[in-house]
Amino acid sequence: MFTKILIANRGEIACRVIKTARKMGIATVAVYSEADKDALHVELADEAVCIGPAPSKESYLVMDKIIAACKQTGAQAVHPGYGFLSENETFSRRLEEEGIVFIGPKHYSVAAMGDKIASKKLAGEAGVSTIPGYNEAIAGPEQAVQIAKDIGYPVMIKASAGGGGKGLRVAFNDQEAFEGFSACQTEARNSFGDDRVFIEKFVEEPRHIEIQVLGDAHGNVVYLNERECSIQRRHQKVIEEAPSPFLDVATRKAMGEQAVALAKAVNYQSAGTVEFVVGRDRSFYFLEMNTRLQVEHPVTEFITGLDLVEQMIRVAAGEPLQIRQQDVQLNGWAMECRINAEDPFRGFLPSTGRLVKFVPPAENAAGAQGAVRVDTGVFEGGEISMFYDSMIAKLIVHAPTRDQAIACMREALNGFVIRGIASNVPFQAALMQHPRFRSGQFTTNFIAEEYPHGFSAADVPHENPAVLVSVAAAIHLRYLERQSRIVGQLPGHEFKLSRHYVVQLRDAEYAVEVDAIEGGHRVVLNGKPYDVLADWKFVDPIFRGTINGEEFVLQAERVGLKYRLFHWGVRVDVGVVSRRAAALMKLMPKKAPPDLSRFLLSPMPGLLTHLAVQVGQDVKAGETLAKIEAMKMENVLKAEQDCKVAEILAKPGESLSVDQAIIRFA
């Protein structure tokens, strides 16, 4: 067994590997860029080596620097995590040549599965079900149209070297096939330096289901059941769960056996994932093999009881698998939500900056409410950088049944406090209570179909507004009770508490009566009492207690004269006023918002990389005005109408904040 390993990665996956290595008694070496000098993985590792500037192409992607760090520290092996160099056959081979063990598959296995066209051919030869299609490189759009006709619409056009949703189009007719081929080829050339494109049958009502495999150097391969990954937004996974609510025993066995056959065909020696697209009739077809640890590996760990990182390390050290296929468990239900630094209410634009407050739900072992696990690489006071991906944390739960896992996840999301930047927690919480998700009857098109115009607060009705009303009223009385105890009040003019208030929630008003009772307050709404009992302090962001004996968790903070509550995906600013104040407020004129139509505002925090206009220039609708880069994404800002540039308010190279003015129009 190794005595020291280097983790060629950052963020939560680096912290995850360090955790297992420490459990195994193995020393760890972290590598970091200048932007990550104060990162959590640097603090957790036994040693750390700086490998260059913030951009990943100058640090985390530079093989020479990582190999040099291994030699400098005496690390015997490298765990690549996921992303960066984790599926780079050259990196795997170079480590091997330097006498350093790659904690992952052999370079020839990576090479065999790294090319989508080659891997599909190999899968077919291994007896794996593949989607009908044309697997040779296609000469041009005319040939693409003819091939699409022969296969039968709809078809999927994919770049051979694609990934992350780039170089992918679905065509339903000749015109879409022609245009889609050209677009995919251009994207593939620009993103991957490889413009080969292939076409295959598009599976209707598709689900994305993947099989986790584990192989060793002694010819043993097992499958560790499946993960359901169909909840995706723009081809990026949002929620993963294990097992799938769609598969039956026979389909699971057939998919698992085909995944094992493919792994054996390439002499696979590590943890890997074989991805399938599954149709509505449970027909399944090979998509690709990910020759690395997946982001969503914790859900498999929960249902099988295995530590996949530990298994990878043991296999890399030459140990045989200690588990046979008949030993693989399928215990309960696990679910993972990816918590990302993005604003769901602003089109999921990246959000960067300081984590002013970061309080994840407490981790716990399996109990009545299920188990909760948080994998993260950030901490309160740390910074979410514009240079890397947007993941803040992974929230994973495990319970005996799917319904219990959903309930456990809902409570955990209620208690996940993130301030200073926007996060997708409200969106995740909304998905958890969506009837279609809860039924398990969804496809990869779920988010696009249910939120065709994006996500807004109006998309999240609260199941029980009485919870928000009663908690807001109870909190308000707590503040008033504190005011009533201020010393030095003039005799005869003491602060007097009322029992009658109006709670203003969204566009509705609720008349309530509030009285103090032992341990909390009784709020009477529409004649029904709600006993709100909680040991809550004003500085606590989490309000945890009971309402009429039922436990609940929500987030609460005072914002101006209102109370901002977050519960079940709903975030609202609630006002609590006297009945007289509520009547007078209805007579107040509404203040018109400022006219910002003459300005181009930055929709997100990021780096202004390009200004395409100058003062005095006439611009036509649709023309590019500026480009902003954040979290490896380039966002192009275009003119919405014909206009003339009057003033440039920001310079290329400048870091912009949300809604910062870039251009003023005449």
- Cβ pair 167, 184 in contact under 8 A: yes
CA pair distance 67, 26, nearest whole angstrom:
19
- Residue 10 CB burial class (10 angstroms; 0-12, 13-18, ≥19): buried
CA pair distance 308, 306, nearest whole angstrom:
6
How does 233-242 read in b/e, with b if 16+ C-beta sit within 10 Å? Answer: beeebbbbbb
DSSP string, 422-474: --SHHHHHHHHT-HHHHHT---TTHHHHH-TT---GGG---S-HHHHHHHHHH
193's CB contacts (< 8 A; 6+ apart) are 161
Known catalytic residue at 288: yes
Given the residues 176, 241, 288, 296, the one annotated as active site: 288
Strand, helix or coil for residue 399: strand
Structure tokens at 311: 């298994």
Number of residues assigned to the chain: 666
Residue for token pair 């030699």: 71
- Cβ pair 561, 476 in contact under 8 A: no
- Residue 71 CB burial class (10 angstroms; 0-12, 13-18, ≥19): exposed
Angle at 160 between CA 158 and CA 163, to 5 degrees: 75
CA pair distance 388, 12, nearest whole angstrom:
12
Angle at 349 between CA 345 and CA 355, to 5 degrees: 90
Torsion from C-alpha of 634, 635, 636, 637, nearest 10 degrees: -150
Which amino acid appears at position 267 of this protein? N
CA pair distance 277, 279, nearest whole angstrom:
7
Nearest to 78 by CA among 316, 314, 291, 388: 316
Angle at 520 between CA 515 and CA 523, to 5 degrees: 40
Distances from the Cα of 254 to the Cα of 127, 248, 663, angstroms: 11, 10, 58
Distances from the Cα of 44 to the Cα of 17, 103, 229, 428, angstroms: 11, 20, 31, 29
Which amino acid appears at position 25 of this protein? G
CA neighbours closer than 13 Å in the CB half-sphere of residue 53? 3
CA pair distance 595, 298, nearest whole angstrom:
48
Would you give the distance in Å from CA 627 to the centre of its chain? 24
Residues involved in catalysis: 288
